[in-house]
Structure 1
Amino acid sequence: MASFGWKRKIGERVSKVTSQNFEKEFAEEAAGIGSNDVDWLHSIKRKKGLLVEDNVSKSKRLKEEGALLALNGRHLEAIKKWDEAIHLTPEDAALYEMKAQSLLCLQEIFPAVQAAEKAVSRDPKFVEAWQTLGRAQLGLGEIAMAVRSFQIGIHICPSNKELWEEDLTWARRLLLQKKDTEAAEVVKRNQMDIRVEQALIPDYDFESDEVVAACDAISQIQKAAAAGGKTIVVSSSGKVSNQEPTTDDASTSEESKLFIKAR
């Protein structure tokens, strides 16, 4: 029976040039052992590259764990995972967008708006981030701003039917309802102001004893003046005066223009 093993003949399938280069590098490294000429800069760059790679992979793992938690309704735990990932990769717009969605589910509207704004600032072409921002703005009552966010998302991706048929349509309907409500409130406020002004104007009781007595007194004076051939004129200030009758219309005095003012 033939046996299987990992042993191979030394030098098999290795080119002569590769072998010589390897031997040369090995000799240089061996000669440098114990010397003080160490390339610290190269070493630091290499470690930094490994660290960045580790942060990216860890952030990706945390992102996926947070997504699974959010699907199961565990939004607080998901947000914690995404916060850790954001600390590692703060320029990842998807982390902010997912965090905003979970905050909306928790009814944390204002923090959701802030997270969505960070998402669109990291990636202005991120359609889902504009959509989430618009939904958060609707929850905050900023309907006009939500319409603008949805329109930006549609401008980036016109084929997104969900933005067209659901988000933007709903936001526009709310905006029209808000305008109608504001117009109705203006009309109602104006009507209320008119009622207040009318309430401030005193109503005169023309059947009160004082008014009847004043009318009777004026009537008696007019009868006495008529018997003497005079005219009674009552000015707007309440002043009563007697005037002689005249036939010259051009010489009408200023007192003849006075009138009785009543509401």
Structure 2
Amino acid sequence: MASFGWKRKAGEKVSKSAVQQFEAEEERTKSTEGGGDGGGGGEGVDWLHAVKRRRQVLLEDCAAKSGRLKDEGALLAEQGRHWEAIKKWDEAIHLTPDNPLLYEMKSQVLTILHEVFPAVKAAEMAVKFRPLWWEGWQTLGRAQLNLGEVDLAVRSFQVAIHLRPSERVLWQEDLEWAWRLQKQQVATKEKTRQEEETKEQILHAPELEQDYDFESDEVLAACVAVAERQTHYEELKKTTVVMDTEGNLKTVVSGEGGSEEAATPSQEQFIKARGL
């Protein structure tokens, strides 16, 4: 995985709530200061110019403060003070809610803190505000992997590669690892399916639904068939699908003793009723 870092810059937009608050304040100021004036044409033009100027100053102040908070949060994150960093970025988001960098950095830290679902939501906001940003898609894919959404992570990494095909980390680390997990997930689901199917065959064995002559050989064959299913079911319960360092899937025995001790029963273990 790529090293944790804060190296990106972007322009910020100003919060609508901050602008609306400023406009409301201007309206109150206008009603108190300009109420007794007769309304000369030149003064109206000067007032409009002053409002635009003050609004521009507010926008610049909000953007500058958001930038300071973003940098302070990045510094705290590098020091390992993750929750403090998130608090700084939340304050910055309140000022510039359309800034994708804030959401992307917040997602990285939430992933480190194992806050998997909030990390995915933050990364989704980052790609929402900047859909063509490959690093945002990379962060989203990593957050989705931690949440267990392997298929979604594969898609996110593929989008990132489409946007930045020259980034080797996306090919060799992110997408490769997601593909491995996807293969392991498919194999695990297949093992679970076989286990459930074998269990169903044991509970509703067709051999147990027939009437047999206890002195016939059919009884022995039925007992052997049921015992083989039971043995196969026990072996499936003891096995686990794992992946080696080269990405190859293997089935290993997780129980004690191994599968060699669970030998397949033979007809010699069963006798006819008359022999008892």
Shorter-chain TM-score: what band? 0.5 to 0.7
Between 106-115 and 187-196, the greater mean CA deviation after superposition: 187-196
Partner of 1:201: 209
What is the DSSP-based 3-state SS (H/G/I as helix, E as strand, rest coil) of the residue aligned with 1:136?
helix
1:41 equivalent to 2:48? Answer yes
The equivalent residue for 1:155 is 162
Shift of 1:192: 1.3
Give 2:68's aligned residue: 61
Query: Which structure would you say has the larger Rg?
Result: 1
3-state SS, counterpart of residue 124 of structure 1: coil
Of the three residues 56, 77, 81, the one matched with 1:74 is 81
Q: Hey, what does 1:117 align to over in structure 2? A: 124
Q: Please state whether the residue corresponding to 1:206 is helix, strand or coil.
A: coil
The aligned residue for residue 130 of structure 1 is 137
| Counterpart-to-counterpart distance in 2, 1:165 and 1:203 | 61
The corresponding residue for 2:177 is 170
1:96 & 1:122 partners in 2: Cα distance?
10
C-alpha distance in structure 1 between counterparts of 2:86 and 2:211, whole Å: 67
Q: Secondary structure at the match of 1:98?
A: helix
Once the 2 structures are TM-superposed, how far is the Cα of residue 180 of structure 1 from its aligned partner? 1.1
The CA deviation string for residues 125-157 of structure 1, in whole angstroms up to 9 with x for no partner, is 111111110011001110000000000000000
CA deviations 1:45-95 (Å, max 9, x no partner) are: 110000000111111111000000000000100001001111111111000
Please point out which of 67, 91, 95 is paired with 1:88: 95
Post-superposition shift, 1:205? 5.5
CA apart distance, 1:203: 6.2
Deviation at 1:122, TM superposition (A): 0.3
Normalising by structure 2, report the TM-score.
0.60
| 1:163-199 C-alpha deviation (Å, 9 max, x unpaired) | 1110000000000111111112112221111111118
Partner residue, 2:195: 188
Partners of 1:72 and 1:83 in 2: CA distance? 18
2:144 is paired with a residue whose SS is helix
The one-letter code of the counterpart of 2:98 is E
Which amino acid in structure 2 is aligned with residue 175 of structure 1? Answer: Q
Aligned partner of 2:115 in structure 1 is 108
1:189-219 per-residue CA deviation (whole Å, 9 max, x = no partner) reads 2111111111852664625xxxxxxxxxxxx
Residue identity in the other structure for 1:146: A
Change (3 A) 1:198 1:71: same
Structure 2 CA distance for aligned equivalents of residues 59 and 126 of structure 1 = 21
What CA deviation, in whole Å up to 9, does each residue of 1:30-56 have, x standing for no partner? xxxx99632221111110000000111
Secondary structure of 2:205's partner? helix
| d(CA) in 1 for partners of 2:211, 2:143 | 54
Query: Higher relative contact order at CA 8 Å, sep ≥6: structure 1 or structure 2?
Result: 2
CA separation in 1, counterparts of 2:106 and 2:160?
A: 19
The one-letter amino acid paired with 1:171 is: A
The residue number in structure 2 matching 1:144 is: 151
Aligned sequence identity (%)? 55
Distance 1:67 1:203, change over 3 A: farther
Question: How do 1:214-253 and structure 2 match up within 5 A?
Answer: none
- Cα distance in 1 for residues equivalent to 2:113 and 2:211: 58
